[in-house]
């Protein structure tokens, strides 16, 4: 029997040492096609700036090619870092995508900069002063534009009717790794995705989300997804070795040294010589059965209906194989024989 737990993908487009950002982006399209075939539910792409590790800079630019290359996946941002943008521009972009790919587009929204302070400054249009800390106001304006609920007295109210993809619209999600994001998501009646791969102590935030949840036209009941970092291989020892590349890159990042994803052998040697830890991050590693058990444990901690799997390896083939093994263990539609169950529907929050 298959699992009731929904599985999805968060792809940060990792760049391998001696490879290129261009190749990483092509790998993203390749992995999305595979995820579509295997029966994963949604495929989100991230926004990170100013470093050699990740090529995912513009989810709004990647979503269209991914959606065009796939057929049943929901495709979206994990997420758009709203403080860098005007709400209208985000609304227009994701409305356009929704018009092109009806019922398949998610708009995951985050508050973090996704980079260091200097790169944040470079991203700003007006550099004369620090940007306002007005994320709640930005978010309210964006949601009002998307659902046409801005008050008639609002100066931008008429623009809601001009969004290019109407009547289609994206499903907004709030992303977070803190209590505050959980409270906002609950108060606004939005689905909530928690980044356990950043903060593995988020079960309390998920509880806060439910405590503060107010039903909305979009969502009558709370919906929680949790994004977890995982590598699966045929043998647990192999998964541990593959994880060395990401571990080395993360340790160097915490030291302020930005590198691309290093080869496994060099990373294993580095970790053997350098004292350190994984910065408190949860790493789900193992054979298919072991990874399934750990993913189910994380989902249970959060009361989540869905786990969004994040995987970084040096070798793209190893990343593909990890997602294949997980899909097979959970008996996702498309991961097994020709007798596999039909795929998930792609409309609505729970579809």
- Identify whether 291 is part of a domain: yes
- Identify whether 343 is part of a domain: no
Contacts of the segment 127-131: beta carbons below 8 A, 24+ positions apart: 131/83
**Domain span holding position 70:** 6-329
Q: Give the residue carrying structure tokens 């995508």.
A: 97
Residue 308, beta-bridge partner list: 8, 227
**Per-residue pLDDT at 116 exceeds 90:** no
pLDDT of residue 335: 65
pLDDT higher at 233 or 113: 233
Report the C-alpha gap between 11 and 260 in whole angstroms: 16
Contacts of 41 (CB under 8 A, 6+ apart): 6, 7, 8, 73, 74, 306, 344
Q: Are 183 and 209 in contact (CB under 8 A)?
A: yes
- Identify whether 43 is part of a domain: yes
- Identify whether 52 is part of a domain: yes
Specify the pTM. Answer: 0.91
Region 238-265: mean pLDDT is: 95
Beta strand 192-195 pairing with 224-232: parallel
Contacts of 232 (CB under 8 A, 6+ apart): 239, 285, 286, 287, 288, 291, 321, 322, 323, 325, 326, 329
Q: Are 26 and 32 in contact (CB under 8 A)?
A: no
Contacts of 28 (CB under 8 A, 6+ apart): 11, 13, 45, 55, 56, 62, 66
CB-based burial of residue 259 (10 Å sphere; 0-12 exposed, 13-18 middle, 19+ buried)? middle
- Identify whether 107 is part of a domain: yes
Contacts of 255 (CB under 8 A, 6+ apart): none
pLDDT higher at 44 or 115: 44
pLDDT of residue 34: 98
**Per-residue pLDDT at 342 exceeds 70:** no
Region 249-266: mean pLDDT is: 94
- Identify whether 349 is part of a domain: no
Contacts of 262 (CB under 8 A, 6+ apart): 17, 245, 248, 249, 270, 314
Please state, rounded to an integer, the average pLDDT across all residues of the chain: 91
Max CA separation in the chain (angstroms): 64
Residues of the chain by 3-state class (helix, strand, coil), percent to 5: 45, 15, 40
Region 196-205: mean pLDDT is: 95
Cα atoms in the 13 Å half-sphere on the side-chain side of 29: 13
In what helix (H) or strand (E) does residue 147 lie, and over which residues does it extend?
A: helix 135-147
**Count of the separate structural domains present in the chain:** 1
The first and second tokens of residue 19, run together, are 């490879």
pLDDT of residue 228: 98
Contacts of 307 (CB under 8 A, 6+ apart): 5, 6, 7, 8, 225, 226, 227, 228, 295, 298, 299
The pLDDT tens digits for 297-324 are 999 999 999 999 999 999 999 999 999 9
Report the C-alpha gap between 74 and 66 in whole angstroms: 10
Q: Give the residue carrying structure tokens 């070795």.
A: 241
The pLDDT tens digits for 41-50 are 999 999 988 8
Sign of CA dihedral 95, 98, 100, 105: positive
Q: Which of 102, 104, 50 is nearest to 81 (CA)?
A: 50
- Identify whether 125 is part of a domain: yes
Q: Quick one: what percent of the chain has pLDDT higher than 70?
A: 94
pLDDT of residue 123: 72
- Identify whether 348 is part of a domain: no
CATH at residue 273: 3.20.20.30
């Amino acid at each position: 029997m298959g699992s009731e737990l929904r599985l999805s993908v968060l792809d940060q487009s990792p760049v391998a040492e001696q490879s290129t950002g261009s190749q990483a982006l092509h790998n993203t399209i390749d992995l999305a096609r595979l995820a579509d075939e295997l029966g994963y539910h949604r495929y989100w792409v991230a926004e990170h700036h100013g470093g050699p590790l990740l090529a995912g800079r513009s989810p709004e630019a990647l979503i269209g090619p991914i959606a065009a290359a796939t057929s049943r996946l929901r495709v979206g941002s994990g997420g758009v870092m709203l403080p860098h943008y005007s709400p209208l521009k985000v609304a227009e972009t994701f409305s356009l995508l929704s018009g092109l790919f009806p019922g398949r587009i998610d708009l995951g929204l985050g508050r973090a900069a996704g980079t260091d302070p200097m790169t944040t400054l470079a991203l700003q249009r007006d550099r004369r002063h620090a940007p306002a800390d007005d994320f709640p106001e930005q978010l309210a304006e964006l949601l009002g534009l998307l659902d046409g609920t801005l008050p008639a007295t609002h100066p931008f109210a008429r623009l809601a009717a001009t969004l290019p993809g109407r009547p289609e619209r994206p499903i907004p999600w709030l992303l977070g790794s803190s209590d505050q994001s959980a409270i906002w998501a609950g108060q606004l009646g939005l689905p909530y995705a928690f980044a356990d791969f950043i903060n593995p102590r988020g079960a309390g935030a998920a509880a806060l989300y439910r405590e503060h949840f107010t039903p909305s036209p979009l969502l009558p009941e709370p919906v929680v997804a949790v994004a977890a970092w995982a590598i699966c291989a045929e043998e647990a020892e192999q998964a541990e070795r593959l994880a060395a590349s990401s571990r080395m890159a993360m340790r160097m990042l915490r030291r302020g040294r930005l590198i691309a994803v290093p080869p496994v052998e060099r990373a294993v040697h580095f970790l053997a010589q350098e004292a350190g830890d994984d910065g408190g991050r949860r790493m789900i590693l193992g054979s298919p059965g072991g990874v399934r058990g750990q993913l189910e444990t994380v989902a249970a901690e959060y009361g989540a209906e869905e786990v969004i799997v994040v995987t970084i390896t040096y070798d793209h083939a190893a990343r593909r194989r990890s997602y294949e093994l997980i899909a097979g263990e959970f008996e996702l539609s498309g991961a097994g024989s020709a007798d596999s169950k039909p795929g998930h529907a792609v409309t609505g929050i729970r579809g």
